[in-house]
């Protein structure tokens, strides 16, 4: 995987991130979602590397990055903390300004990076994601049934970890190695069988139901919006539109009109349609 890329462990103030990076040109950071690691980008990153320095970290708590100790309000797993990791990482790698791309939970981190650090982000790409407050305020029985894992993983009184760690092979479902890529499959499953990572992934969702929502609400109340160009990549075979047109939901959060493209894939776009994703990213990132 990742021919010509370097694999490092980069120490930040309070966490160490496992990071794959390579290529030449303008910098872009690719952020994975749940329950993946940075290797989900193994087919996309090389396609971008001729025109971009591509940086692919494991988010804090995921893969082989640090599982931070629990903090009040699950703040250690907030998207604000993860976004601070992204900016610190890019500074250490020598990139003052960069594009940020996030899928699923990584989309929340990408959004928070652009919101909290507008001076650093040139372009924002969100893949199958909305601001968390938009989901939560629209929650009805249909959404709760379809996206039930948000509430299950977010429980604290009856922690999901006890169920998942008892039999992770029964809990998680992934495509086989020949579909995901053997190295990606092995990397993801090593993480899924680590109880510490499972706990950190649950903490991600607990933060999403509380402190992340609070941060979104504060931004909205203050009238803060994303200044940079924004691209939404929506999976044709997923249900991001369960609560309405996702581009219309994004619009009030943005100073510029959103670019919206549909990728012919299921939820894991980077694994299922890497060429389409890379083409969409190259085209968008070439814009001033």
Instruction: Give the length of the chain.
Output: 288
pLDDT per position as a tens digit, 83-99: 999 999 999 999 999 99
For the stretch 43-87, pLDDT in tens is 999 999 999 999 999 999 999 999 999 999 999 999 999 999 999
First to last CA, the chain: 31
Q: Give the closest residue to 190 by CA, choosing from 10, 37, 33.
A: 37
pLDDT profile of the chain (288 residues), mean per 10: 96 97 98 98 98 98 98 98 98 98 98 98 98 97 96 93 95 94 98 98 98 98 98 97 98 98 98 98 92
Q: In what order do the strands lie in the sheet with 98-103?
A: 6-11, 16-23, 52-57, 26-31, 98-103, 121-127, 230-235, 259-263
What positions carry a catalytic annotation?
104, 267
Domain ranges of the chain: 6-285
> Residue 287 has what pLDDT?
85
Model-level pTM? 0.98
Q: What is the pLDDT of residue 190?
A: 98
Q: Containing H/E element for 77?
A: none
**So what's the pLDDT on residue 21?**
98
User: How far is it, in rounded angstroms, from Cα 58 to Cα 82?
Assistant: 10
> Which of the listed CATH numbers 3.40.1670.10, 3.40.50.1820, 1.10.340.30, 3.40.140.10 matches domain 6-285?
3.40.50.1820
């Amino acid at each position: 995987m990742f021919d010509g890329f370097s694999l490092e462990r980069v120490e930040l103030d309070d966490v160490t991130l496992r990071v794959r990076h390579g290529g030449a040109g303008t910098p872009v950071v690719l952020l994975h979602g749940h329950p993946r690691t940075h290797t989900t980008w193994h087919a996309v990153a090389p396609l971008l590397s001729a025109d971009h320095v591509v940086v692919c970290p494991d988010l804090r708590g995921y893969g082989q990055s640090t599982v931070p100790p629990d903090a009040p309000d699950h703040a250690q797993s907030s998207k604000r903390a993860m976004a601070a990791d992204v900016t610190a990482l890019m500074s250490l790698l020598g990139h003052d300004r960069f594009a940020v791309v996030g899928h699923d939970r990584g989309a929340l981190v990408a959004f928070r990076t652009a919101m909290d650090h507008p001076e650093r982000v040139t372009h924002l790409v969100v893949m199958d994601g909305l601001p968390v407050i938009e989901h939560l305020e629209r929650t009805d029985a249909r959404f709760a049934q379809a996206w039930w894992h948000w509430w299950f993983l977010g429980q604290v009184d009856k922690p999901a970890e006890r169920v998942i760690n008892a039999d992770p092979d029964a809990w998680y479902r992934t495509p086989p190695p020949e579909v995901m890529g053997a190295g990606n499959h092995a990397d993801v499953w090593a993480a899924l069988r680590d109880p510490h990572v499972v706990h950190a992934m649950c903490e991600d969702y607990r933060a999403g139901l509380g402190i992340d929502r609070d941060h979104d609400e504060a931004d909205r109340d203050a009238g803060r919006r994303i200044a940079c160009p924004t691209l939404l990549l929506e999976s044709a075979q997923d249900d991001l539109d369960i609560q309405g047109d996702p581009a219309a939901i994004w619009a009030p959060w943005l100073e510029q009109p959103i670019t919206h493209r549909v990728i012919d894939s299921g939820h894991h776009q980077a694994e299922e349609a890497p060429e389409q994703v890379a083409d969409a990213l190259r085209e968008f990132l070439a814009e001033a």
